[in-house]
Amino acid sequence: MSRERDRRDDRNGSKSLRSHDYLIKLRGIPYSSTKDDIKKFLYPCRIDTIHLFNNRVSSSGECLVDLESETDVKDALRKTKQFIGNRYIEIFRTTIYEYNFFIKHKGMISWREPVIRMNGLPFSCTMGDVQNFFKDIAIARNGIYITRDMTDNALGGGYVAFVSMDNAYKAIDIYDQKHIQHRYIQLSPSTYDEAKKTITNDAYLNGKRFALSV
């Protein structure tokens, strides 16, 4: 019965009715890895489903695995830094929110920093609006940036840094395409480096505009 479950294929991107209580992520797998390779690596852990997209051009080198019990999760985590071929594998426990992200993007995006880019912010948007938008999800200290012009109007874009990747996955899963005021907000994965470059560029452009206005 367990072997039959191992053969289930999630490549259609549909969300499963399972609770994903025993979900792990493998990072660093060779791009040529198959589900059989993952089974052999995790043996004797009992596997429910392997979520693996074989796309050698744009693969993130990651897969998710639903295991059958807490004991299986603990046994799997002990295998971190062991090898598949010549690649050592990192193993993490993960959540339904990362699962939804992984399935949506077919395993092609490896998102490693808890930063989200926002597009579609209203001109009057404030940091308080952004905090209320994400409600009970913990945002990092000084973790909100809204792009503004010299008259302090929001220009539609911004960034939010969360305290953990779990919170970032939860935020993008729950609040993407939801509204602030009359505008629906698009959320996408980002990085600290991208946010810093935007902040630096905005400061330069606004300073240049100010110099030209005096």
pLDDT in tens, 94-103: 999 999 999 9
The architecture (CATH level 2) of 2-104 comes to: 2-Layer Sandwich (3.30)
Provide the token pair at 41: 């690596």
Predicted local confidence at residue 204, as pLDDT: 79
The answer for residues whose C-beta is within 8 angstroms of residue 140's C-beta and 6 or more apart is 114, 161, 162, 163
Tell the residue number behind the tokens 């840094």, with chain if given. Answer: 161
CATH for the 115-213 domain, from 3.30.70.330, 1.10.10.10, 3.40.50.10420, 3.40.140.10: 3.30.70.330
Residues 133, 19: Cα–Cα separation, whole Å: 26
Residue-wise pLDDT for 33-66, tens only, equals 999 999 999 999 999 999 998 756 556 789 999 9
What does the chain come to in residues?
A: 214
| b/e per residue 58-79 (b: at least 16 CB within 10 A) | ebbebbbbbbbeeebbebbeeb
Give percent of the chain above pLDDT 70. Answer: 86
